[in-house]
Each structure stands twice: as structure tokens, then as C-alpha cells.
Amino acid sequence: MANTIYTAEAHVTGGRAEGHGRTSDGVLEVDLRLPAEMGGQGGGTNPEQLFAVGYAACFEGAMGVAGRRAKLETGDVGIDSKVSLSPDGKGGFQLGVELDVSLPSVEDPQAAKDLVKAAHQVCPYSNATRGNIEVVLTANGQPVD
């Protein structure tokens, strides 16, 4: 990739059921466990949880970019994310994402929706998943279309 500005590196052993993951800098280190809902014992994190945190954090950064471009103060943005794992009907699995964006400093419902739409165009996670998985967005509790 040309003009790369950052590359994250991690190493995983043991997979999602009884694995361990660690970033190359040692800042993030997690035990990976299959959730009880999937027949596992729990007691660790799983790829869907990591994706949910990563996507929400990335999207919050994109909200800042969208706010600056629109010359609007986004204030304390909060994002509740859900990442669902479902069978795809072909023997594999698919993800689905819901991002519920809270913008307490943006009172105008349309302005909030427009900011979330703009962030969805900027966010690298959104760009990576666009057309591949369903992503449902809300802004201050209102659906974003």
C-alpha cells in the first residue's frame, strides 16, 4: 500500500476458542475465548468484541473529521456498537454491525444524521466493510439512511 501512515502488528495463537493475542508493542494483550452463547466457557474476549471496540473507536475519530469539515462542534461523542455473528446460509458466517452515535452537543436531528453519514464515508472500517456486511447507523436515536 502506497503512503501507509501506520501499520498495526499482532500475533495470535490458539484461535478464538482458547487463544491468546498480543500486539507487537505489548500494549494490548488478550486471552481469546469462545463466548458462552456459542457453547464456550467465556472468560476472555473474542474477535467480535475486538471488532466492536475497534470500529466504534475508528468511527469516533471519523466523527471528528466530519465535524471539522462541517464546521460543527461534535462535543463528547459516544458510540455504542454491536457486532453480530450469524450463519450465512452457505456453510460460513457473516458479521452485522450497529453503531448508535450519541451527539449531545448537536441538537438538530438532521445535522446529527448528516454528520454520521459523512463520518461513514471517512471511516476506514466503514470503507473496508461497505458492501460486504450490513451496517446500521443511528444518530441521537434516529435511524440514518
- Residues 31-50: what's their mean pLDDT? 94
Q: Is the pLDDT of residue 1 over 80?
A: no
- Quote the pLDDT of residue 143: 98
The CA R_g of the chain, rounded to the nearest whole Å, is 17
CATH architecture for segment(s) 47-144: 2-Layer Sandwich (3.30)
Task: For residues 79 and 102, give the distance between their C-alpha atoms in angstroms, rounded to a whole number.
Answer: 6
Question: What is the per-residue pLDDT across 113-135, written as a single tens digit (0 to 9) for each?
Answer: 999 999 999 999 999 999 999 99
CATH architecture for segment(s) 1-45: Single Sheet (2.20)
- Quote the pLDDT of residue 2: 83
The whole-chain average pLDDT of the chain stands at 96
Question: What is the per-residue pLDDT across 71-115, written as a single tens digit (0 to 9) for each?
Answer: 999 999 999 999 999 999 999 999 999 999 999 999 999 999 999
Task: For residues 3 and 136, give the distance between their C-alpha atoms in angstroms, rounded to a whole number.
Answer: 31
Per the structure block, which three cell numbers stand in for 81?
Answer: 456498537
- List the domain boundaries for the chain: 1-45, 47-144
Alpha-carbon torsion angle 40, 85, 123, 33, nearest 10: 10
Residue with cell string 474477535: 47
- Residues 45-50: what's their mean pLDDT? 96
Q: What one-character DSSP code corresponds to residue 31?
A: E
At 8, the amino acid letter reads: A
Q: Could you tell me what percent of the chain has a pLDDT over 70?
A: 100
